[in-house]
Amino acid sequence: MAQTELEDALRVKWNLNVAKNVIVFIGDGMDPNTVTATRIYKSGESSKLSFERFPHMGLLKTYSANKMVPDSGSTATALFCGVKVNHETVGVDTTVRKGDCVATLNRNARLDSLVVHAQDAGKSTGLVTTMRVTHATPAPLYAHSANRRWECEANMPKSSPCKDIARQLVEDEPGKNINVQYNARNSAAPNCLRVFQCAGSTLPDPSSSQPYSSFTPLRRFHD
């Protein structure tokens, strides 16, 4: 088996063409131990999962800039933005520490994600998740926050000058330009009031003249 794997690897030819489209899959918390347990449970120690048959694989060191054990916000930011950041921050560099709302107002502290680069290249972008669309793993695609838990107004400090993550998705670039947003677990809702439901949140009535009224199932959310 080892000889066959070596021969197959040596026969692989590099594809140097420019990719037309990119799909990034994330198995949240999918560390080597979890993968090993899954492989054994599926078919035994000698079996392989589908992605283990890919011609190229790699292993990343997951840690945040100021913590040995990271969280989803910092690791997803590193994955989507290419920069190691502080624990529990989203889409901002290391000049922003957890809870430092004011620091996120500095444009130079905000990181561009893969979504920004894709939209700048004229490509369509989408976000599909089994968690909330404002959760720490997808949030770095479009948001800049000093706390991964600032998903909605109810979780924000009082009189905060910063926007919560949900508002950034709806109101700011690149979030408002994302073509498809889909919550595959709870199913995406036809309006923002349900998508961003959070105790204590304040969102305009979708039937009013506020900007949120333009977000319809056909344009933004897919059920």
**Which sign does the torsion angle of CA 173, 88, 78, 53 carry?**
negative
Strand partners, 67: 64
User: What gap in Å lies between CA 223 and CA 219, rounded to an integer?
Assistant: 12
The tokens for 175 are 């979030």
Phi, psi of 193 (to 5 degrees): -60, -35
Whether a cis peptide bond, with omega within 30° of 0, leads into 174 is yes
Contacts of 123 (CB under 8 A, 6+ apart): 21
Annotated catalytic, 207?
A: no
Q: Would the annotation count 87 as a binding residue?
A: no
The closest alpha carbon to 26, from 91, 73, 63, belongs to: 73
The residue annotated as part of the active site, out of 43, 46, 72, 113, is: 72
The tokens for 119 are 């939209």
Which secondary structure element, helix H or strand E, spans residue 41, and what is its range? helix 32-43
Q: Would the annotation count 144 as a binding residue?
A: no
Q: Would the annotation count 135 as a binding residue?
A: yes
> Residues forming the annotated binding site for Mg(2+)?
28, 135, 137
Residues with a catalytic annotation lie at: 72
> Residues forming the annotated binding site for Zn(2+)?
28
> Residues forming the annotated binding site?
28, 135, 137
